[in-house]
Amino acid sequence: MGEPVAGGDRMDSVTRAFVAHRTLLFTVAYEMLGSAADAEDVLQETWLRWVGIDPGTVRDQRAYLVRITTRQALSHLRTLGRRKESYVGPWLPEPLLTAPDVAEDAELADSVSMAMMLVLETLAPTERAVFVLREVFDLGYDEIAEAVDKTPAAVRQIAHRARAHVAARRPRGVASAVETRRTVEAFQRAVETGDLQRLLDILAPDVVLLTDGGGVVRAALAPVVGAEQVAHVLGRIAAAMSLQPTQVNGDPALIVRLGGELDTVLAMRIDDGLVTGLYAVRNPEKLLRLERETTLRR
């Protein structure tokens, strides 16, 4: 009769460890994939591998779980890359409705912002994994090396290369949370009132609008570039939509409703008080998590 009890105790221990680190593991997977649905798949695969491990043999459960998650995410990232090649129109990360505490962690908020997630998309899979684990989660080079099956020396080189790549593409002048909120509010007022001049004053001359419809709903199949062109697009649809302020991926954003129904999530990149990037996610499959907050953690 003793063995079932011991087995039950072991399962309780395994479950507790996984639950304790689940939010961290989801955040790692999401930052690597840009897809909450794929991140959930990665967590399921991580769990299936974790239950086969004797927790008593694991010195650092957090590091071990992160390692499993990273390996599974890398596998998904390569599959996701092939899926994106046949994607209709621009591909944007799946937006997440985030709690205010995400915005309070400046480094976490920056790393999951739509602008940064798009920068991460330009990294090779292993570079992305190394950058995320080192720069966002502050893992040591030895730990990262085990996760990506590289030597610590190779990981250092990859981290240096990825850091330089990201630095060259991150926002030019990082705005404070207050400045960002003010810009978003001014943008909302300009769109709602149809004030073209005010909108042009907020948009950077080289602003880029990306719309992700996934071939499911109507969306521009190429980037819309330039303040006048972007303002024209926004002006055409403004009369039919309502805008609701929210927090998406740690940044202020707008939920667009048509006829009371969720239609689009509009996230922004703001540099030096001007909107330089607009990311309109319209693909219904990417809007499924917008009814509830998603907790992220470093």
Confidence (pLDDT) at 174: 65
CB 281, CB 94: distance < 8 Å: yes
DSSP labels, 197-247: HHHHHHEEEEEEEEEE-TTTS---SS-EESHHHHHHHHHHHHTTEEEEEEE
Lowest mean pLDDT among 146-150, 178-182, 221-225: 178-182
Q: For the residues 138-157, what does the mean pLDDT come to?
A: 96
Q: Full-prediction pTM beyond 0.85?
A: yes
pLDDT band at 298 (very low <50, low <70, confident <90, very high): confident
Q: For residue range 41-86, what is the model confidence (pLDDT) as tens digits?
A: 999 999 999 998 887 788 899 999 999 999 999 999 988 888 888 9
Alpha-carbon distance of 96 to 177, in angstroms, equals 18
Residue 209 vs residue 11, higher pLDDT: 209
Q: Spell out the residues 6+ positions from residue 50 whose beta carbon is closer than 8 angstroms to its own.
A: 14, 17, 18, 65, 68
Computed on alpha carbons and rounded to an integer, the radius of gyration of the chain in Å comes to: 21
Alpha-carbon distance of 237 to 102, in angstroms, equals 31
What strands lie across the sheet with 251-258, from one edge to the other?
224-225, 203-212, 274-281, 261-271, 251-258, 241-248
Give backbone dihedrals phi and psi of 242, rounded to 5 degrees, phi first: -115, 145
- φ/ψ region of 273 (left if φ > 0, alpha if ψ in -120 to 50, else beta) reads left
Q: For the residues 152-172, what does the mean pLDDT come to?
A: 92
According to DSSP, the residues that pair with 251 across neighbouring strands are 248
Strands 274-281 and 241-248: unpaired
Which amino acid is present at 289? Answer: R
Q: For residue range 107-118, what is the model confidence (pLDDT) as tens digits?
A: 888 899 999 999
CA angle in degrees (0–180, nearest 5) for 161-164-166: 110
> Given a cut of 50, is residue 3 above it in pLDDT?
no
CB 82, CB 219: distance < 8 Å: no
> Given a cut of 90, is residue 215 above it in pLDDT?
yes
Residue 178 vs residue 278, higher pLDDT: 278
Confidence (pLDDT) at 58: 86
Q: Which token pair is 87?
A: 């994607």
Q: Spell out the residues 6+ positions from residue 15 whose beta carbon is closer than 8 angstroms to its own.
A: none
